Amino acid sequence: MKDRILESVRPIVEDPRHVEIDLERVRAFCRERPAEGIAPPDWRREFIYPWEDDGAAEFFLLFNCINFAFWAKPGAVKWWIDYKGRRHDGAYGLMGAFTRAIEEGVPLLEGRFLAEMTAERLGGILRGGGELVLFRERVGILREVGRGLVARYGGRFRNLLAAAGGRAVALAELLVREFPSFNDACAENGREILFYKRAQLAAAMVYQRFQGKGPGAFPDVDRLTVFADYKLPQALRRLEVLRYRPDLAAKVDGRILIAPVQPGGGGDTRRHHLGLRPDTAGVRGPRAAGGFRGAGRVPLAARAREGGGGEAVPPDGDDLLLGAGRATPHGRREREAHRRRSSLSTSSCSPALFPSIAWPRNWSA
């Protein structure tokens, strides 16, 4: 999987259009890291499936079905939940909401329940405050995953996990193949560009929670890549490792929505990137309890391209992918210098490389 993903993005990395990688800053960052490395998270908190059983593996597979887009639109309050008197938002909020629901007896890990998900049910599960963007898309994804589990895996994630045969790559590939929303790929100049962020993240989280044992005994976990999360460009830009070209920087800093790639021309790009079928289009979120106000109109895989739309979005965007678009630097000498600056071996990268960054107070998942 690593080889296929890296080869698919190689042409963009070697000839980016809107970003540059400063290799001197990369070296400086590596020198500043502790010699013993950075320990990956173990995903053990009171609000993250606190029970010591194999259900944790199913929990993380479920969580990653809708683990995306937690920012608030301008003027809106970011979605949050209350778990035992403490407020959580972002990805932690989703974990806390799912844990709370399981404690309340909701059969969240059962495919039959997911297959019959409604906006009202999900609104109750995610009750809290603020606005959660792409709410109706999340309802549709959970339905589709539930139906797939019922049809092919006895209604349980644990059977899908068993089908992976103890291999992280096989698990990620199963998620991509069985559930279209995990298939975050797009076309660029006739080439397929692969990311598979949440599919790989799901496998890695199971591995990390179980410390490479039991359900998480994946000897091939090193065959996963760094996950293409929209936090990475934030972190890399803050570290001055990633430099945006002026036109892209102006749009990101100005909170301007960047138009997505139109795969195959026309169509609902938002549903394409979410892997949703047309039967989810009519699902709408509740407007009262829980503070949901329906879905935002931001595509999951917005890519940096010239001529983007004018709708404002938060500065972290929504899965803004690095190296978007293609360009030819003017002149052979500039091209070669640009490639030397931008070429970066990913063989030594780790999914746990950046959690230790000291984020500003107003940055969160």
Is residue 319 annotated as part of the catalytic site, yes or no? Answer: no
DSSP, residue by residue, 65-124: HS-------TTSPBPEEEETTEEEEHHHHHHHHHHHHHHTT--TTBHHHHHT--HHHHHH
Radius of gyration (Cα) for the chain, nearest Å?
A: 20
Contact (CB, 8 A) for 98 and 127 = no
Using CA of residue 95, residue 44, residue 72, residue 127, what is the dihedral sign?
A: positive
Q: Annotated catalytic residue: which of 89, 229, 316, 318?
A: 229
The first and second tokens of residue 98, run together, are 């799912």
DSSP label of 125: H
Q: Between vectors from CA 115 to CA 279 and to CA 82, what angle results, nearest 5°?
A: 105
Q: DSSP letter at 303?
A: B
Q: What is the 3-state secondary structure (H, E, C) of 217-281?
A: CCCCHHHCCCCCCCHHHHHHHHCCCEEECHHHHHHHHCCECCCCCCCCCCCCHHHHHHCCCHHHC
Residues 6+ apart with CB under 8 A from 214: 54
Cα separation, 271 vs 274, in Å, equals 5
User: Which 8-state DSSP code applies to residue 359?
Assistant: -
21's enclosing H/E stretch is strand 19-21
Residue type, 332: R
Residues forming the active site: 229
